Amino acid sequence: MKLLRYGPAGSEKAGILDRDGRVRDLSMLLPDLAPAQLAPRTLAALAALDVERLPLAEPGARIGCPLAGIGKIVCVGLNYADHAAESGMPIPPEPVLFMKATSSIIGPDDQVVIPRDSVKTDWEVELGVVIGRTARYVEEAEALDHVAGYVVVNDISEREFQLERAGQWDKGKGCDTFSPIGPWLVTRDEVPDPHALPLWLEVNGRRVQDSNTDQIVFRIEQLVSYISRFMTLNPGDVISTGTPPGVGLGQKPEPWYLRAGDTMRVGIAGLGEQRQTCVEWTR
């Protein structure tokens, strides 16, 4: 299934994509798509619906983040060997973890705001893993059983905030609008191998990232198991699994970054596409 939320920001309704790619309204059956709706029993009931009998959503409606009430976003740094190389950093012996503020979440096509005083706002296409069952000290062999599905994430990052100021990476990762998620939450049954997905990102029509999730260092089951040793993963939590090479920081002959007016197109095969326009921060 491809589950989604549509409508004005703050007033989204639950929806589902039909076989022709049209949005069908689920709001008469679900109050919203939130962590409680990721329970296996609920997902099974949704999978049994005759989607074609559901009413069509209004044409042209805004698509929001496909899940309300995300509890935390756990990100994995340097999880593609060639991205670590372009960043001038070694491949880590264990996953590098950091968090993104949930206040950074926006819909997949919403505007991205360049923060005040930003000089190095960057892009990062990533595969997001949505947790469906509580995971605590989970073994790798059982880890994927705790996954509800997958989403596209653009892990937007301000490199000067992240790398050139004292402290943790989080300050360059959690700015408002820095987590476009969606357009859909694609349930795990529709993604037989999350380690074989082409993913890409374009800036102003120029493809700058073009890779495949088969290049990740730490696989999904490893990440779910590893993270669950240090914190409980609850339904609705999102793991953003790292980005391939081609970020602004790694551009040759010299880095370049996002400016107001720039557009991004971000996609993962089978999981949909995002499109964002960058705008200046205003008071």
At residue 89, the pLDDT reads 78
Between these two residues, 102 and 169, which has the higher pLDDT value? 102
Nearest to 150 by CA among 24, 63, 66: 66
Q: Which domains does the chain have, with CATH numbers?
A: 2-53 (no CATH), 73-280 (3.90.850.10)
The residues, any chain, with a CB within 8 Å of residue 51's CB and separated by 6 or more, are: 16, 18, 19, 24
pLDDT score of 57 more than 90 = yes
Over the chain, what HEC string results? CEEEEECCCCCCEEEEECCCCCEEECCCCCCCCCHHHHCHHHHHHHHCCCHHHCCECCCCCCECCCCCCCCCEEEEECCEHHHHHHCCCCCCCCCEEEEECHHHEECCCCCEEECCCCCCEECCEEEEEEECCCECCCCHHHHHHHEEEEEEEECCEEHHHHHCCCCCHHHHCCCCCCEEECCCEEEHHHCCCCCCCEEEEEECCEEEEEEEHHHECCCHHHHHHHHCCCCCECCCCEEECCCCCCCHHHCCCCCCCCCCCCEEEEEECCCEEEEEEEEECCC
| Residue 81 pLDDT class (50, 70, 90 cuts) | confident
Give the integer Cα–Cα distance in Å for 38 and 187: 10
Name residue, tokens 């990100």: 75
| Residue 210 pLDDT class (50, 70, 90 cuts) | very high
At residue 74, the pLDDT reads 98
Over 63-121, what HEC string results? ECCCCCCCCCEEEEECCEHHHHHHCCCCCCCCCEEEEECHHHEECCCCCEEECCCCCCE
pLDDT score of 21 more than 90 = yes
At residue 90, the pLDDT reads 84
Mean pLDDT of 116-124: 97
At residue 107, the pLDDT reads 98
Q: Which phi and psi (to 5°) does residue 163 adopt? A: -110, -20
pLDDT score of 198 more than 80 = yes
Give the global pTM: 0.96
Share of the chain above pLDDT 70, in %: 100
| Residue 53 pLDDT class (50, 70, 90 cuts) | very high
| Residue 84 pLDDT class (50, 70, 90 cuts) | confident
